[in-house]
Amino acid sequence: MVVAIALLTILLLPLLLSDFRLKLVGRFLSLAILALGIDLIWGYTGLLSLGHGIFFALGGYALAMHLNLQLPDGQIPEFFSLYGVQDLPWFWQPFYSMPFTFVAIWVIPMVTAGLLGYLVFRNRIRGVYFSILTQAMLVVFFNFFNGQQKLINGTNGLKTDTATVMGVLMGSDGAQMALFILTVVILALAYGLCRWLTGGRFGRLLIAIRDDESRTRFLGYNPTSFKTFVFAVSGALAGIAGALYTVQSGIVSPQYMEIAFSIEMVIWVAVGGRGTLIGAIIGALMVNLARSFLSEQFPEVWLFFQGILFLGVVTVLPQGIVGWLRSEAGSQMRSLLGRPQRVSTYSSLETDPEVQYEHENLSH
Amino acid sequence: MSLFASSLFDGISIGAVLLMSALGLSIVFGLMGVINLAHGEMMMLGAYTTYVVQNGAKALGGGLWLNLYIFPALVLAFVVAALVGLFLERNIIRLLYGRPLETLLATWGVSLILRQFVRSVSWGFVAGLVIFAVLFWGGRWVLQRFRPGGLGRMHQGAIALITLLSIGISVTAGYGLTGLGETSFWGKLWFSARNVDVTPPGWLQGGLSLGTVTLPYARLFIISLMVVCLVGIYWFLQRSPWGLRIRAVTQNRQMSACLGIPTDRVDALAFALGSGLAGVAGCAVTLLGSVGPNLGSNYIVDAFMVVVVGGVGQLLGSIVAAMGIGITSYLIGSGTLGFVLSNMGASFLQPVIDILDFFATSSMAKVMIFALIIGFLQIRPAGLFPQQGRSVDV
């Protein structure tokens, strides 16, 4: 099923869409990988991270540094000369190697996430506290990347469009097409990974932690290690997504670590449906398509729309689109058709209007 | 040494602003377990209220008005922010009771809307809003009053229809009116996206000279304002009946409800109070710099950190944390600490000085402060003064 959809996407979309639109969709698909990671920690484990921009940008920077080093021997990237830097900073050195970069894209965000997560979860800090701590981390990383002109070109970020890898210009149509296919393949793989993780015993433990962490602890499991692990996996997915997004949009900059962007990621998952992996993908695609459409047509409306989206999803549709389809759409259809509701327990009680009335009005 | 003293003083005044905005957050968080991401926008509303009051004072002919406008501005900033907070609590946060993470997201939505609101508000826009409010609540009132028989199930549908209709009509009207152009009465933006400036009253310009140190009056004013707020809040929480109720609900919500305390009114009151304090903080901020739609977001993360470090619902914790964070970040960020240490001339301190120099910009100071906070939380996970209790879920 997944393979079939992936194949269809690869074969059909390039025929249907113009190059510009295709590139846009490719970027949104890489954001969908990110959404999968967020669904893993928020939808399944109940950790609301407002700092996923960190891992996203780390992955992007890792790849962008490698691409910026595709130069003749002895040269260093151009921007260094602007700030009077003569030698390549030490931490750029390993990025000459391609295998190292491909590992670094997901290992660096994973280790960062694991470390930060461990330091927080260890103390049983959770819920809202965790969220605002991740937001503070985000601000810290943003300030760091934004302020260090001499190390990583600060505010301007790193361009990847103009780099050539093995004789191919990254910005060319051929390379972008290859990246599109790569994104679809990786998205399918990531989906498979998340399905596998959440399917078995491990997935049920994550849900147990989400629903009642203290009880899980009393049952003899250590939530800290599970939470750290799943947060690290989520960070790795974000890193990969960031790398793919970077090469398809041609630049990585500290803007990827803006507070607003990281919170927006959460709303993609909320729109699609928390705790449903396919929902995360659908939500990421839908919100971003709506965004690109609305901000092209009426730029000033987009923020209002986004605000209303936050409010609406949270109050009216807490389960998201997919969750709603799975749980309530069936019964709504049935009531429209005038058929009796399907109920799981004592049907005579649950459908009796008098009992329902008492239940509603007397229990308060 | 005089440099150190004046930096310390500046740090205290920044801590004072932080404290005023964090107090409200801390009270609300302790009471309802909710973090309000729109809290920074309450500060922004307070700041814009000050701007409006100042312009009103100018229109009244300046002179005495321009000297005294800051006092009505403080009161109005409190009232405006508190009313918006009350509206928010009644209409949004109440619906999400017991789901703190969702509340976080919803308040972020509010914060986005408020930020865009001050950018694009004009008379035409307000007219659209009024039309929407009249149609929407009016429609619901009509539906409530003359509930047509046999509507039954369709009630939900009718509400949805009213919502859609009123959105459609008001958006069209708003667009039509603002479409008249930037120069017309209806289309002229009140504030626009640009930053606006508030000129402090004459008597707040300049400073008090103490030997070699000059203390700016504006910052002195902010610090005394903070002291007034603090005393007021302390009195309110410890000596007034509603303060007692707030403290009771903070300690144990179910038990307080059983004893007849109207917890929903306590929530609404505390939320309005917290927002109002943020409004006052916003008014104070206008004395330090220009006012823009993103004003709140500069302070808000620091205010969250004050809540995290200070512990939940504790006045003393918030004071210590706000002053600590404000002073440390200013001392490191302005490079004063490194400078003072290097003046002491001890060579063994050189590595420390180098590190401090690396962090000596206001953005890098945040990096260091956060590292310190994470370290601190390893020792005291629940903040400086954790609440005592036997619950598993702290």
pLDDT digits (tens, 9 = 90+) for B159-168: 777 778 877 8
pLDDT at B200: 79
Q: How far apart are CA A128 and CA A126, in angstroms?
A: 6
For B330, the token pair is 């200013």
pLDDT at B194: 77
Of the ranges A180-189, A298-307, B284-293, B294-303, which is most confident? A180-189
The DSSP line for A23-71 is HHHHHHHHHHHHHHHHIIIIIIT----S-HHHHHHHHHHHHHHHHHT-S
The strand pairing partners of B216, in sequence order, are B207
**Identity (one letter) of the amino acid at A106?**
W
pTM: 0.85
The minimum CA-CA distance between B266 and chain A, rounded to whole Å, is 19
Instruction: Report the alpha-carbon angle A354-A357-A363, nearest 5.
Output: 130
* CA dihedral sign of residues A274, A276, A280, A286: negative
Q: How far apart are CA B25 and CA B4, in angstroms?
A: 31
pLDDT at B394: 47
pLDDT at B30 over 60: yes
Q: Give chain A's residues under pLDDT 70.
A: 329-353, 355-356, 358-364
The strand pairing partners of A252, in sequence order, are A158
**Identity (one letter) of the amino acid at A363?**
S
A128 neighbourhood in chain B, CB within 8 Å: 29, 33-35, 100-101, 104
- Burial label, A155 (beta-carbon count in 10 A; 0-12, 13-18, 19+): exposed
| Residues A282, A68 contacting (CB under 8 angstroms) | no
pLDDT at A112: 92
Inter-residue long-range contacts of B252-255, CB under 8 Å, 24+ positions, other chains counted: none
**Identity (one letter) of the amino acid at A273?**
G
* CA dihedral sign of residues A75, A77, A79, A83: negative
| Residues A34, A266 contacting (CB under 8 angstroms) | no
pLDDT at B201: 78
Quick one: average pLDDT of B199-212?
Answer: 77
Residues recorded for chain A: 364
A287 touches chain B (CB under 8 A): no
With CA atoms as reference, report the closest residue to A241 among A46, A115, A5, A58: A58
pLDDT at B334: 78
The shortest CB-CB distance from B301 to any of A48, A120, A139 is to: A139
pLDDT at B213 over 90: no
The model's confidence at residue B77, banded by pLDDT at 50, 70 and 90, is very high
CA B113 to chain centre: 15
In degrees and rounded to multiples of 5, residue B279 shows phi and psi of -60, -45
B263 neighbourhood in chain A, CB within 8 Å: none
| Residues B353, B339 contacting (CB under 8 angstroms) | no
B191: helix, strand or coil: coil
Which chain A residue's Cα is nearest to B393?
A214
pLDDT at A33: 92
| Residues A92, A69 contacting (CB under 8 angstroms) | yes
The model's confidence at residue B297, banded by pLDDT at 50, 70 and 90, is confident
| Residues A109, A60 contacting (CB under 8 angstroms) | no
pLDDT at B312 over 50: yes
CA A102 to chain centre: 19
pLDDT at A348: 61
| Residues B309, B373 contacting (CB under 8 angstroms) | yes
Min mean pLDDT across A258-267, B176-185, B225-234 is at B176-185
CB contact under 8 A, A304 and B116: yes
CB contact under 8 A, B110 and A307: yes
A46 neighbourhood in chain B, CB within 8 Å: 101
The DSSP line for B139-190 is HHHHHHHT--TT-TTHHHHHHHHHHHHHHHHHHHHHHHHHTT-TTSTTT-BS
Which of B36, B93, B103, B104 is the best residue to mutate to test the A interface, defined by the most A CB atoms within 10 Å of its own CB? B104
pLDDT at B187: 66
Q: How far apart are CA B168 and CA A310, in angstroms?
A: 20
Q: How far apart are CA A67 and CA A45, in angstroms?
A: 36
Residues recorded for chain B: 394
pLDDT at B149 over 60: no
pLDDT at B389: 66
* CA dihedral sign of residues B52, B55, B59, B65: positive
A125 touches chain B (CB under 8 A): yes
CB contact under 8 A, A48 and B297: no
The strand pairing partners of B210, in sequence order, are B213
Of the ranges A237-251, A317-331, B124-138, B301-315, which is most confident? A237-251
pLDDT at B205: 78
CA B369 to chain centre: 21
- Burial label, B109 (beta-carbon count in 10 A; 0-12, 13-18, 19+): buried
ipTM of the complex, rounded to two decimals: 0.83
With CA atoms as reference, report the closest residue to A186 among A248, A241, A245, A110: A241
The shortest CB-CB distance from B377 to any of A123, A259, A300 is to: A123
B297 neighbourhood in chain A, CB within 8 Å: 259
Which of B94, B101, B111 is the best residue to mutate to test the A interface, defined by the most A CB atoms within 10 Å of its own CB? B101
Min mean pLDDT across A115-129, A229-243, B135-149, B209-223 is at B135-149
Question: Phi-psi region for residue A334, left (φ > 0), alpha (ψ -120 to 50) or beta?
Answer: alpha
With CA atoms as reference, report the closest residue to B293 among B45, B36, B18: B45
Which of A138, A143, A148 is the best residue to mutate to test the B interface, defined by the most B CB atoms within 10 Å of its own CB? A143
Max intra-chain CA distance, chain B: 88
- Burial label, B9 (beta-carbon count in 10 A; 0-12, 13-18, 19+): buried
Segments of chain A assigned E as strands: 158-159, 164-165, 168-169, 251-252
A164/B275: higher pLDDT: B275
Mean pLDDT of chain B: 82
CB contact under 8 A, B33 and A318: no
